Structures are given as structure tokens and as C-alpha cells.
A and B are shown apart, each in its own frame.
Chain A
Amino acid sequence: MAGIWVYVDHFKGAALPASYEAVAAAKTLGGPVTALIFGQGVDALAQSAFHYGADEVLLGDDASLADYRAEAYASLLSKLAKEHQPDAVLFSTSTRGREIAAMAAIDLDTGVLVDVTGISKDGDGFAATHPIYAGKLLSKVTVSAKPALITLRGRAFGKPVADTSRSGSVTKVAAAVADGDLQTKVVDYATVEGRVSLADAGVIVSGGRGVANNPALTPPAEITDEKEKEIWRAQQGFLMIGELAQALGGAVGASRAAVDAGYIPYASQVGQTGKVVSPDLYIALGISGAIQHLAGMRTSKVIVAINKDPDAPIFKLARFGVVGDLYEIVPALTKALKERLSK
């Protein structure tokens, strides 16, 4: 069963879009593609894997795999890889993909090419492109052992096309570690929302420090502290940004300055110490464009910037720029885009 394997990353049975990008990328490397699907009651994912290009599926369906746990998933992947000797195993670069690949690399005495944006055949093995320093530089990386474990950056490999006529064979596999021998237990999930994840978003609308600059907004009387007033103003601004993002089916991002000032939680931070993103459309509002922020979004397809400062560095990357007050432009832009998109 040599060939290329793909770990299909999912959360509670919903596959990450990047998982099928990985299946499609595996197809381009030649040879049969095997999808690995671990969980409980997740057999429906097998059909999708076939549609996107998998030839067969190894299905680990067990109560001990119901919640993702790195040790359980990595142990099963390593056991299967030892038995079947694939040439490479592809993952999406999620928290889960990174961890499973890391652990499997130790088990299998091989290496991980992590968060790559391109893969090619390199003699008997594989070479890949890994953006380092948040994408300020690119590193060509190779791995000398097999299987090559490679995690793929979301949205870097193009959108896969489903062929619903494809099908394949499903082989059930047993869990590698008994539940009682695992060292971790998932207790609960919190604040699990249906939000658009920054990594998968086709559109991101981000706000920076400039979002607090609206003196026209009057904070409620009980807020007396100046800093609290500023945060309140900025939060109202992020609600307005959220409306634009929602109209475009996108996600809300932020600069580090906005996160550090307490305007919005860290999960939204784009940049070198936040998330590196690559949407089709990135709208930067009140973001001047510090080098750390630019590194995190410079590969976006189309960048639009609205800023009061005509000298803001963000304009150098922008396809379209507006020098002006985001509080005037954004509501009008949301309305204009809604009108055009509903036609």
C-alpha cells in the first residue's frame, strides 16, 4: 500500500477544507492516495475523501478516538505507517495536524516538513517550501527518511474539485492504544462557535488601532475611565467591521496593536505573533502596517486598505487604498457591497 497518505483532519465530524486540499495535492504527486479517517461515527467522511481523489480509506472508528487526542491519533497513524510503509503522509497545518505529525516523526524516526506552501518530488523523496520568519523568507526543505511527514498550509494548494462519481474501498482499523492506557482525557469544549476560522477564510476584514478613533460615539455614562471609553469605542468599531465581514462571508481579524490595547481577543490577531493568513480578499481598516503585520498577510490575493494616514506602509501592499475615516467609509462600503452581491 505504498503511495501517499493523507490524514483527514476534522472537528466533530466536520472536515477542515484544508484536508481535501491535501487529498487533491496528494493526487498530483502520483501513485495511489489513501485517506486516514480517525474518530467515532465519522464513516461519512470517507465518501467525501473519495470524491476529492482518495482511492482508499483506512477508517479508525473507536470510542477511544471519539475526541481528538494527540497520543491516541499519533499512535494509530504510526502503527499503520509501520505496517504499510507509505512514501509520505500529508496533513493540514492545524493544531491537530502539527501534533500528530510531530509525534509520528518521533515514533517513525523521520522528519516533518511543516506548514509548507508547495511540494515537489525530489529524487526518491520530496522537497517543499516552508515560509519562515512568518513568511519574510522562504526555506526549501527536504526530508531524508520515509515516510516524509508534511503539513500543508491551508489555502496554499488551491481549491479541490469534487467528483461525486468517484468511490473506493474502506478498510476498518482498530485503535492502537486502549482507552485506559491513554494519559489524557477530554473533559469538555467551551466557546465552540460556528465562526469562520482565519486560516480557512476567503475574506478577512481586519481592524487596527485606528478603530478606536471615533469621538462621535458616546460611551454609556457608567464608563468614566478614559481607557475604558477608548476600548468601548473600539469594540463598537469591531461590531461594524463584523457586519462587513459577515456580508462577505468572511472572518474578522486584527492587528497586534488592537489586540494589545484590549479591543479584541488574541484569537483574531494576524501577523508574526498571531496567525499568518492568505485570503482572497484582505481589507485592512485603521491598520498602519507594521512589518510584523505585513508578514502575516502579504500573500493575500487582493488587499484593500482604508487609513487616515496617507503615508501608512499598508498602502504599498494594497491593490486599492482609501485615505479617509473608516467610520464614514465602512458603513457605506458594507451597504454598497451588499447591494451588488444581492443582484
Chain B
Amino acid sequence: MKIAVFVKQVPDSAAKLSVDNGTVNWGDAPLVINPWDEYAVEAALQLAEKHNGEVAAISLGDENAKEALKHALAMGAASATLVSDPALAKADAAAAARVFAAAVQKLGGVDLAIFGKQAIDSDTGLAPAMTARVLGWPALSMVAAIPSLDAGSIKVERAIEEGRQIVEGKLPAVLSIVKDFAEPRYPSFMGIRKASKAEIPVWSLGDLGISAPDSKVSWAEISAPPARDVTSEMVTGANADEIAAKLADLIIAEGVL
């Protein structure tokens, strides 16, 4: 079984962000693998271990994105490839999906293409369904468990707003994985050593045999949200009942219940 897993390099979730001349500045916060992609890598590795498969990690980005790929290698991915091309600097989700689909085709023989549920920077969550559509494969998103997988089909439990939906799909398929699936493993010492020495090949659009897909969505402007204008009031009292009574009156006076 051949499994492609897509990872993205993003600023750490603890980063304090600001906007300088229209671009996002994350100060000295580190760049890390998108936290949701760690679950995708974990799922890919577990499936590969169980079904005698192989995991190929792919990232779209600049040279920095090699670090996310090294994390995937250190966790246990067999190979990693960076897709990078200056023409993709302003790629929207649909353009990226067309590139992801081309990368899956170039890898060849892929049974499952696995994504995290979304990236914590751009927060669109569109890549899995878009990539599936370009490939003409079924999209099984928000996967929390995989009760069965065989040569031709997969059964998954999807975490939807209302609970779990159990769906069967034909292979090849695109999945997105949510946190319920399993805690991602820590990279092993041997894994980290192997990853640090790994040569990561770079594919350009030319290597993929496509021209830059059109991006229809653009980011005209990025700004900091307005500061939260709040007057804080600390509620005190002689005992819990007195505090609770005061707080209850104050909450009701806000008119939100």
C-alpha cells in the first residue's frame, strides 16, 4: 500500500503575530510542522505498519518547509519531497490542490493521500476535498478512526458536527485526519538522525509537468483584529454564595441570557 501524506510548515501556535507592511510577522517564534498534520503522519504510519505499506511525505512551500518534511521523516516516513516553485508564491487553495494532485500522480500508484484537517495559519481546510476532486477520488474528511481497509476499499468514522458518520469509500481515496485518531508519536533518536542526513528532492512545476494553476482567491490585506475593548470587573464577596449572587446579577444585566 502506497500512502502520500501532505505536511505544511507553519509558525508555532504559541506565536504572537503582528502585521508589518501587509505581511505576517511571527517574531522569533519557531516554524513547526502544522500540528494537525502530525495526526495525518501518525495515521499514515499506522496504516503502513498494518498493511505493509510505505509513506511518502510531500510539502508545498519554500526551503523552510524541508523542516516539516524532516519531522515526518523522523516520525518514520520512508521518503520526503518538497514541491517548490516561485510561480506558486500566491497560490490559493484550489491552485495548491491542483499541484498536490499532480504530485500524487507523479509519485504513482498511490492508494491513499492523507491530509491534516486544516493548516493553522491559513485556516481554510479546503485542500483535502479539492485535491480529491481534481484526482476524481472520493474525499473522506475528518476521519477519527479507520475500522477497516483492504485492497479496494476503506471504511472510516468521520467526526462530523452531529457525532460520527461511518462511510465506506473506494480506493484510491483522499483522507483528512482529526485529533481523535491517535496521539502522534515522538520522533525517535534514530529517526531524527536519519532525517537530519536525508537529502530532500525538490520538484518544480516543470518536474510535475504542469504550468502554474490560476489562483482565483487573493489576499488584498492582512490586519490585526481590533483590540478587545473590555472593562474588567473583579467580583468579590464574603463567601461563595455572596460572590455567586453578585455574579449572577451582573451576568443577567448584560442581557446575553
Contact = CB atoms under 8 A, between A and B. Distances in A.
Nearest to A193: B163
A272 interface: yes
Contacts of B157: 190
Contact of B223 (A68, A133, A140): A140
Given A304-B247, A336-B248, A321 B235 contact: yes
A321 B232 contact: yes
Interface string B8-47: 0001011111010000100000000001100000000000
Contacts of A142: 217-218, 220
B48 to A, nearest CB: 23
A37 interface: no
Contacts of A141: 217-220
Contacts of B130: 102-103, 105-106
A131 B120 CA distance: 11
Given A127-B220, A322-B235, A333 B247 contact: yes
Nearest to A328: B240
Contacts of B169: 183-185
A145 B223 contact: no
Given A71-B138, A142-B217, A281 B256 contact: yes
Contacts of A341: 252, 257
A94 interface: yes
A318 B247 CA distance: 13
Contacts, number: 269
A186 B166 contact: yes
Given A112-B126, A186-B165, A272-B13, A140 B240 contact: no
Given A102-B133, A320-B247, A321-B232, A112 B219 contact: no
Interface string B136-180: 011111100000000000010111111111111110010000111
Interface stretch (A19-27, A167-175, A224-232, A290-298): A290-298
A316 B232 contact: yes
A302 B215 contact: no
Contacts of B16: 291
A317 B123 contact: no
B233 interface: yes
A319 B225 CA distance: 19
B105 to A, nearest CB: 15
Given A134-B120, A187-B167, A319-B231, A70 B139 contact: yes
A57 interface: no
Interface string A82-104: 00000000000011101101110
Given A322-B235, A336-B244, A281 B93 contact: no
Interface string B238-257: 00110111011111101011
A114 interface: yes
Contact of B179 (A113, A185, A266, A316): A266
Contact of A103 (B17, B124, B129, B218): B129
Interface of A: 11, 16, 68-71, 74, 94-96, 98-99, 101-103, 105-107, 109-115, 127, 130-145, 183-193, 197, 199, 202-203, 248, 265-267, 269, 272-273, 280-281, 290-292, 298, 301-304, 315-325, 328-329, 332-333, 335-337, 339-341
A317 B230 CA distance: 7
Nearest to B124: A114
Contacts of A135: 225
Contacts of A290: 14
B187 interface: no
A245 B159 CA distance: 23
Nearest to A249: B257
A133 B17 contact: yes
B52 interface: no
Nearest to A114: B124
B221 interface: yes
Contacts of A322: 234-236, 243, 247
A288 B243 CA distance: 20
A341 to B, nearest CB: 7
14 contacts: A111-B92, A112-B217, A127-B220, A131-B123, A141-B219, A143-B217, A187-B167, A190-B166, A191-B164, A267-B180, A320-B233, A321-B232, A322-B243, A329-B240
B139 A137 contact: no
Contacts of B210: none
A315 B257 contact: no
A279 B129 CA distance: 29
Of A69, A135, A137, A302, the most chain B CB neighbours within 10 A belong to A137
Contacts of B139: 70-71, 99, 103
Contact of A188 (B94, B166, B251): B166
A183 B154 CA distance: 11
A133 B12 CA distance: 10
Nearest to A283: B251
Interface in B206-224: 214-224
